Amino acid sequence: MNQLPRTTRTTLKRLPKRGSHERETINQILDEGFICHVGFVIEGQPFVIPTGYARVGDRLIIHGSQASRMLRALKTGIDACVTVTLIDALVLARSAFHHSMNYRSVVILGRATLIDEREEKLAALFALSEHMIPGRWQEVRQPSEAELQQTTVLSMPIEEASAKIRTGPPLDDEDDYAMDVWAGVLPMRMIAENRLPDPRLQSGIEIPKYVIEYKG
C-alpha cells in the first residue's frame, strides 16, 4: 500500500499504534469529511480557522473570499497545519478517566499555493461542489468572471501527513471491570434529514434526485 514518508513532524509519539501513514487511509478520511481546521501564524499570533475543502488526487483544495485574512496569508507560502476529524462513537468507560471517543483524524503539514489559471480554478471549484453534493454543479449557474475574480482558491499538497484512529471498546483499569456500571460504545454518525425548500423557491420545482437520495 502507498505510504507517505514519515517525518519528525508526522511521526506519532503518543499511542503510535493508532497512527497510519497509508495514503488510502488518509484519503478515505478526507473524502468523508466536510470541514477542515487550518492553523497558521501571522506576526506571532496563531489562528485556527474552520473552512470547507475537497481532495483532488494528492492535493487539498480550499477557497474563499479574496478578503479572507487566512487565504491572503496562506498564498504567501507560510507554513500551515490542516486537520480533519470524524467522530464515530462515544466510548463510555467505568471510570471517568478512561472515557474516550472513537475517531478518525488526519493532520497535514505544508504550504499552500495559489490556483490562478482560469480553467484550473474552475476545476477546483467543481471539485469543491462535487465533494459537498455530487451532481449539483451541472444544475446551478456557473461562476461569473466577477465571482471568479472575487474568489481565492488554494492548493496544498498531501505529502507530509498522518492519520490517527481509535476503534473498539473502553480500556478500563483491570480492577474496574468488576464494577456494577454500564460501559460500552455509543455509535454516532451524520445523516441527512428532511429536505427544507427555500421559502423563495418557485412553485413546481421538484427536489432533485441527488438531493432525495443523498445520505451524507
Asked which of 33-37, 158-162, 190-194 is least confident by mean pLDDT, the reply is 190-194
User: In this structure, what DSSP letter does residue 3 have?
Assistant: B
- Who wins on pLDDT, 198 or 19? 198
- Who wins on pLDDT, 14 or 110? 110
For Cα atoms 216, 214, 58, give the angle at the middle one, nearest 5 degrees: 55
The answer to whether 189 and 89 are in contact (CB under 8 A) is no
Distances in Å between the Cα of 47 and the Cα atoms of 73, 81, 82, 202 are 11, 10, 12, 42
Kindly tell me if the per-residue pLDDT of 13 is higher than 90: no
Rg of the chain in Å (alpha carbons): 21
- Among residues 160, 152, 159, 157, which one has the least CA distance to residue 70? 152
pTM of the model: 0.93
Architecture of domain 16-189: Roll (2.30)
**Which residue matches cell numbers 490556483?**
115
pLDDT, tens digit, for every residue of 97-125?
999 999 999 999 999 999 999 999 999 99
Kindly tell me if the per-residue pLDDT of 154 is higher than 80: yes
Cell of 36: 477542515
The answer to whether 61 and 70 are in contact (CB under 8 A) is no
75 confidence band (pLDDT: 50, 70, 90): very high
Cell of 215: 445520505
Distances in Å between the Cα of 200 and the Cα atoms of 99, 114, 141, 197, 205 are 46, 36, 17, 8, 11
Kindly tell me if the per-residue pLDDT of 11 is higher than 90: no
Asked which of 9-18, 80-89, 146-155, 174-183 is least confident by mean pLDDT, the reply is 9-18
pLDDT at residue 54, as a whole number: 98
170-179: burial string, b at 16+ Cβ within 10 Å, e else: bebeeeeeee
Kindly tell me if the per-residue pLDDT of 15 is higher than 90: no
* Cα separation, 188 vs 131, whole angstroms: 21
The mean pLDDT of the chain is: 95
* Cα separation, 105 vs 110, whole angstroms: 17
The pLDDT > 70 percentage for the chain reads 99
pLDDT, tens digit, for every residue of 128-144?
999 999 999 999 999 99
* Cα separation, 169 vs 186, whole angstroms: 10
3-state secondary structure of 12: coil
- Among residues 201, 172, 173, which one has the least CA distance to residue 184? 172
The answer to whether 134 and 210 are in contact (CB under 8 A) is yes
3-state secondary structure of 200: coil
pLDDT at residue 1, as a whole number: 59
